[in-house]
Amino acid sequence: MQRLFILTLSLIPWIPAVLCWVTTQKEFIGPEGGSLTVQCRYGSHYADHVKYWCHGGTRIFCEILARTDETSSAKPSEDKVSIFDDPARLMFTVTINDLKETDSGWYSCGVELASRADDVAYTEVKVFHGVSVVNSMVSGEEGSSLTVQCLYTQRFRLSEKKWCRSGDPSSCLSTGSYEDTSVTISDDRTGAFTVTLKKLQMRDADWYLCSAGQQQVAVQVQVRPHGSTKPVTSPPTPSQPWNRYRYMLESIVGCSSLLLLVGLAVLARKILRKKASSRFKQTEEIFPDNPKGMRDLQRSK
């Protein structure tokens, strides 16, 4: 029973660890001269902590490039590295601009902790000579047209160019093979191919991919309802409704687990005391007039 008591107490400090974590993709790939966005997700207990982006493959040799408690310039797009925390979505975003080959390497998403070592998640950034876009986000009014210009380096001049809806390979359209009343794709073979979306509909709002060879870059298409100035972005992911209640549910689970462990610890302690008291009474009955003998018997046990 004493072992159970000790084990229960040892588990209590681990309760926060169940709700405290940081994660990200294992790698991010971006074109030289373009920009790259990294999304780092974290547990609800880290919502109020400082987050940072660090260059280096270990905790010791790590250069912090951006922190959420440091102010950036008025135009984040002009910063080499910018960071933005969104506690409502339990995610912080890092943007690296003007990518160079020297930016390739290992990085970490970090959450600063005062009581113990920072929690981090490592990822590899790869910069390539490949594909980019003039604007990573384009918008247009319902019923109108919009144009996306996808850029590529000369080594992709003769490669097949594609326009795909993100996450749906069957939607890919190739240059020279597709043209109708809603989409046209043209390649000037001098470093850019152009995608024109005609007669925009609300369902066209989504993330798309410009591809050349094996390289690709994401583009967000926003569509404004006719006569409105507010665009409709890509549809929310199924996980978003869950995120609204995630903090509450995690807190309830965490508190319930903590109370359960504390209750087990108290119960184990009471049982130990009860057994000790029972042994003491038995000893008193055996040696009612001999305290020395009673102490000797207790030592022998």
Would 18-128 and 131-224 be classified into the same CATH topology?
Answer: yes
Tell me the C-alpha distance between 217 and 211, whole Å.
Answer: 7
Tell me the C-alpha distance between 276 and 143, whole Å.
Answer: 83
How do beta strands 206-212 and 192-197 pair? Answer: unpaired
pLDDT at 293: 54
111, amino acid identity: V
The stretch 129-135 carries a mean pLDDT of: 80
Q: Which ranges of the chain does DSSP label H, i.e. alpha helix?
A: 2-11, 15-19, 239-286, 291-300
Tell me the C-alpha distance between 89 and 157, whole Å.
Answer: 40
Count of C-beta atoms within a 10 Å radius of residue 96 = 24
Backbone angles phi, psi at 228, to 5 degrees: -110, 155
Find out if CATH 2.60.40.10 is the number for domain 18-128.
Answer: yes
State the distance between the two ends of the chain, measured CA to CA, in whole angstroms.
16
pTM for the complete prediction? Answer: 0.46
> Residue 295 in 3-state DSSP?
helix
Q: Tell me the CATH architecture of domain 131-224.
A: Sandwich (2.60)
Q: Domain locations in the chain? A: 18-128, 131-224
Residue 271 predicted with pLDDT over 50: yes
Write the pLDDT tens digit of every residue in 56-108. Answer: 988 788 999 999 998 765 555 568 999 999 999 999 999 999 888 899 999 99
pLDDT at 252: 47
Least confident span in 144-158, 175-189, 192-206, 252-266: 252-266
Write the pLDDT tens digit of every residue in 14-61. Answer: 444 445 689 999 988 777 777 889 999 999 999 999 999 999 988 788
Write the pLDDT tens digit of every residue in 205-263. Answer: 999 999 998 888 899 999 999 877 666 655 443 333 333 333 344 444 444 555 566 56
